[in-house]
């Protein structure tokens, strides 16, 4: 029997394990995994590097016209790295400096249109897992499977802390907690495509689920949606 390829949209708050699940799913299914947040982070990095005034719409449009984003598969990581104008910025975009400004940048209408247009193109051939905030609602409203991931605030802070600690041992739990709370607030209250659960999304609370349990659960859902 031949399974048809589908689109899997994964949305949710930051540090809910979306990327971890998306990556495992893509590997298992032989699909492409696209971390849409990396695009907003790379745009933020460019804006910071070039001191773009976030209030100046024409400066933003000029900057966007100069930004070329691409994803290149990294065999070592078994995941794509994001390139900003042909430079691998996968590590740079994870830094606190970018994390602190990214919600503000992601709330800009022109930035969203720029990113969403590229994301829609990536889904043309299906066989894709994309994670973000508006994937099931705006980017792929037609996705065959939509997941909305949640986890308890304590677990999310702990996960992000452990992730950031590797490159920055000076970071404090308090700082991480504050950044997560602020980003949740900005992501859910912004005017342009705020984070919200699509009506047909399936909620997955992974506070108590291991990675394997999550993958198993979701693979069942995928199976139900694939057909000849």
Per-position DSSP letters for 169-183, written without gaps between them: TT--HHHHHHHHHHH
Site membership for ligand DC, residue 160 (CB under 6 A): no
Nearer to ligand DC, 23 or 183 (CB): 183
Cα distance between residue 208 and residue 152, in whole Å: 9
The interface region with ligand DC, picked from 70-78, 101-109, 198-206, 213-221 by CB under 6 A, is 101-109
Provide the mask over 61-80, with x wherever binding to ligand DC is found by CB under 6 A and - wherever it is not: --------------------
Site membership for ligand DC, residue 159 (CB under 6 A): no
Nearer to ligand DC, 37 or 123 (CB): 37
CB of 58 to ligand DC, least distance (A): 22
Q: How far is CA 112 from CA 56, 105, 115, 138, in A?
A: 16, 9, 5, 10
CB of 227 to ligand DC, least distance (A): 28
The interface region with ligand DC, picked from 37-45, 61-69, 84-92, 220-228 by CB under 6 A, is 37-45
Q: Which of 23, 133, 146, 156 binds ligand DC (CB under 6 A)?
A: 133
DSSP H or E run through 105? helix 96-106
Site membership for ligand DC, residue 14 (CB under 6 A): yes
Q: Which of 9, 22, 26, 41 binds ligand DC (CB under 6 A)?
A: 41
Site membership for ligand DC, residue 16 (CB under 6 A): no
Cα distance between residue 165 and residue 189, in whole Å: 29
Residues in the chain: 228
Q: Which of 36, 179, 206, 214 binds ligand DC (CB under 6 A)?
A: 36
Cα distance between residue 215 and residue 194, in whole Å: 27
Site membership for ligand DC, residue 106 (CB under 6 A): yes
Exposed, middle or buried: residue 151 (CB in 10 Å: 0-12, 13-18, 19+)? buried
Nearer to ligand DC, 90 or 134 (CB): 134
Neighbours of 187 (CB within 10 A): 20
Nearer to ligand DC, 150 or 226 (CB): 150
Cα distance between residue 177 and residue 68, in whole Å: 32
For the chain, what percentages of helix, strand and coil (3-state, to nearest 5) are there? 50, 15, 35
The residue ranges that bind ligand DC (CB under 6 A) are: 14, 36-37, 40-41, 102-103, 106, 132-135, 183, 187
């Amino acid at each position: 029997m031949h399974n048809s390829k589908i689109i899997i949209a994964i949305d949710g708050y930051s540090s809910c394990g979306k990327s971890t699940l998306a990556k495992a799913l893509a590997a298992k299914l032989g699909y492409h995994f696209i971390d849409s947040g990396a695009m907003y982070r790379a745009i933020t990095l460019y804006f910071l590097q070039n001191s773009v005034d976030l209030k100046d719409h024409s400066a933003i449009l000029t900057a966007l016209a100069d930004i070329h984003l691409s994803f290149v598969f990294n065999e070592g990581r078994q995941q794509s790295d994001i390139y900003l104008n042909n430079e691998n910025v996968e590590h740079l975009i994870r830094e606190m400096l970018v994390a602190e400004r990214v919600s503000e940048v992601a709330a800009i209408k022109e930035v969203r249109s720029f990113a969403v247009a590229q994301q829609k193109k990536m889904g043309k051939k299906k066989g894709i897992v994309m994670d973000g905030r508006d994937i099931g609602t705006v980017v792929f409203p037609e996705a065959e499977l939509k997941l909305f991931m949640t986890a308890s605030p304590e677990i999310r802070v702990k996960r992000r802390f452990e992730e950031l600690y590797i490159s920055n041992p000076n970071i404090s739990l308090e700082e991480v907690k504050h950044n997560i709370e602020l980003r949740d607030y900005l992501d859910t209250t912004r005017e342009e495509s705020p984070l919200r659960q699509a009506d047909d999304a399936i909620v997955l609370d992974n506070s108590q689920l291991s990675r394997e349990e999550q993958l198993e659960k979701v693979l069942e859902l995928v199976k139900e949606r694939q057909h000849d």
